[in-house]
Structure 1
Amino acid sequence: MRFGITILPEYRWPEAAPRWRRAEELGFDHAWTYDHLTWSGLQDAPWFGTTPTLTAAALVTSTIKLGTFVTSPNFRHPLALTRDILAIDDVSNGRFLCGVGSGGSIDATIQGGEALSPRQKVDRFAEFVVLLDELLTTDHVDFKGEYFETRNGRTLPGCVQQPRVPFIMAANGPRSLKLATKYGAGWLTTGGESDDYESWLGSVAELSRRLDDVVEDRPFDRYLSVDSVHYCLSSAEAFEDVVGRAAELGFTDVITHWPRAEGVYAGSEDVLENVAADVIPRWR
């Protein structure tokens, strides 16, 4: 089992930098930040840009992988995003993970325009991933789709990681899961919507079975965001329980959130320290 932690982009850098450094010191394998213009849980909170945050995080760490949780087509064009990805991958010396998904509801309309239907969102996501893959592996890209276009898209110098940075793809439906297994190095899920822990675990199990039907028994990394129903760093015991459940379902990676002082993901950094010292080493 590998372990990740999400640090929300809400802190001014003198407060944020120690958290990113500490995530590495505690032995986490990967650290993430949300890639949204705003987030439904913290619309009135401070919020900073994702790619500058990850670039700065790369400069205060040296081994931990860094990722977007998750990038979507809601406000990203693949060509402009390619330049950001190339920069973070370069500055981090090949430690960048590109989490990608079809996009949530708030980012979808915050800059204007009509909300897409679920089918349209998947159509756009497929086009986004196909073009992003081509841009990260090819120079001089001409592409014209329904949602995106590039004319002689230039993409030098290419990624540090070859043939490109890994895509960790959020997907639940059949089309998105097929896309994830074709273009992704791993699959990411938050599970289904539920207010009950056991029901949520049931939804995670069902989604994992759907992936089994698509991936056809070949090795494929599976990432589970474990804080969807309740905050799993409420205690070391709660965290270890969800890690065990994830392992039983075949997940290779779990992702939690850095404890906040209040509100969503409120918790104690003492619990985080205990988990890093005692729980994580046992599951490795």
Structure 2
Amino acid sequence: MRIMRFGITILPEYRWSVAGPKWRRAEELGFDHAWTYDHLTWGGLQDSPWYGTTPTLTAAALATSTIKLGTFVTSPNFRHPLALTRELLALDDISNGRFLCGIGSGGGIDSTILGGDELTPRQKVDRLAEFVELLDKLLTTDKVDFVGEYFETRNGRTLPGCIQQPRIPFVMAANGPRSLRLAAQYGAGWVTTGGKADDYESWFGTVRDLSHRLDDVLEGRPFDRYLSLDSKRYALSSPAAFEDATARAAALGFTDVITHWPRAEGIYAGSEDVLEQIAAEVIPRLR
């Protein structure tokens, strides 16, 4: 019998005096993993305060002891694999091997905020392929020389290596054929927010189609699958909504579901009382 795991995303918009208790509470409530966005600016909250991903996860690692922690998701938009490697090694060490690296091709405001032209979808996947190939090398090998179209390292030193062996797990965001193949090649798991859709039912149809595409790539190989539940309907709007979304995800073969910590207003607006009720009553039963 498959055991479902549960994750929650805490946006990096709060001062640590407010954020810290949320991360600690996520662990106390029994969530298996907790995530934060890795953006310079996120299109959904352009006018919101926003804090750095790595310091946030470092603080979260020190404030918790068992829950896994991850980026949701890191991209090549403003990351070089060698500089990122140093941050990932530190996070893996400080968390004592609890870190997960979510990785995607990149898009949104981050894709042009530092200047330059917007890449085409094909170019983004080309860059992603180079990014994960080099990041994989750097996290498993010292003294890395690499020359690509988008990234280069000259004698890239990467000691002391990862706590998790052979390296930190990658949870790959992928929807298209090439990125799904990259997920199968380099990932310990796959994460999706689904495809474009006009309503909730249609959105779950896109999730089903994407999951079937991954089936074709994996050819029966077991693989962790993470679904972000909140694209068309906020899963924590009620216990019934959360249970329905989780059951649908489980029926499609997902091993993990992720929702967002309730915000006071706007996107992901909800009640922490509902979160507490779901954690106490619904999640234990759905496991």
Please, what TM-score do these two structures have when normalized by structure 2? 0.98
Among candidates 83, 87, 91, match of residue 86 of structure 2? 83
Write out per-residue CA displacement over residues 151-177 of structure 1, whole angstroms, 9 at most, x where no aligned residue. 000000000001100000000011100
Tell me which amino acid in the other structure corresponds to 1:199: S
Query: 1: CA distance between counterparts of 2:70 and 2:133?
Result: 20
Deviation of 1:193 (Å)? 1.6
* Among 140, 152, 157, the residue aligned to 2:155: 152
**What is the aligned partner in structure 2 of residue 129 from structure 1?**
132
The aligned counterpart of 1:12 is 15
How well do the aligned residues superpose, as a CA RMSD in angstroms? 0.5
> Could you tell me which residue of structure 2 aligns to residue 66 of structure 1?
69
Specify the code of the residue in structure 1 equivalent to 2:261: W
Equivalent position of 1:222 in the other structure: 225
Shift of 1:108: 0.6
CA distance in 1, matches of 2:184, 2:122: 19
Selected match of 2:28 from 25, 44, 48? 25
Deviation sequence 1:74-118 (CA, Å, 0-9, x none): 000000000000000000000000000000121010000000000
Q: Which runs of 4+ in 1 moved over 6 A?
A: none
Give the secondary structure class of the aligned counterpart of 1:114.
coil
Cα distance in 2 for partners of 1:27, 1:230 equals 23
Q: CA deviation at 1:195?
A: 3.0
Percent identity between matched residues is 81
1:234 aligns with 2:247: no
Q: How many residues were matched structurally?
A: 284
Q: Which residue number in structure 2 is paired with residue 173 of structure 1?
A: 176
Work out the CA distance in 2 between the residues paired with 1:27 and 1:189.
Answer: 23
SS at match of 2:167: coil
CA contact (8 A) 2:74 2:103 kept: yes
CA distance in structure 1 between the partners assigned to 2:77 and 2:259 by the alignment: 24
1:25 alignment partner AA = E
Alignment partners' CA distance in 1, 2:70 and 2:286 = 22
Whether 1:245 and 2:235 are equivalent positions in the alignment is no
In the aligned structure 2, how far is the partner of 1:170 from the partner of 1:274?
A: 30
- Is the aligned partner of 1:37 residue 2:40? yes
Deviations 1:37-95, CA, capped at 9 Å, x for gaps: 01011000000000000000000000000000000000000000000000000000000
Segments of 5+ residues of structure 1 without an aligned counterpart are: none
Would the aligned equivalents of 2:24 and 2:64 in 1 still touch at CA under 8 Å?
Answer: yes
1:47 maps to which of 39, 46, 50: 50
**Equivalent residue number for residue 119 of structure 1:** 122
Q: TM-score, normalised by structure 1?
A: 1.00
In 2, Cα distance between equivalents of 1:132 and 1:279: 38
Paired AA for residue 64 in structure 2: T
| In structure 1, C-alpha distance between the alignment counterparts of 2:107 and 2:45, rounded to whole Å | 14
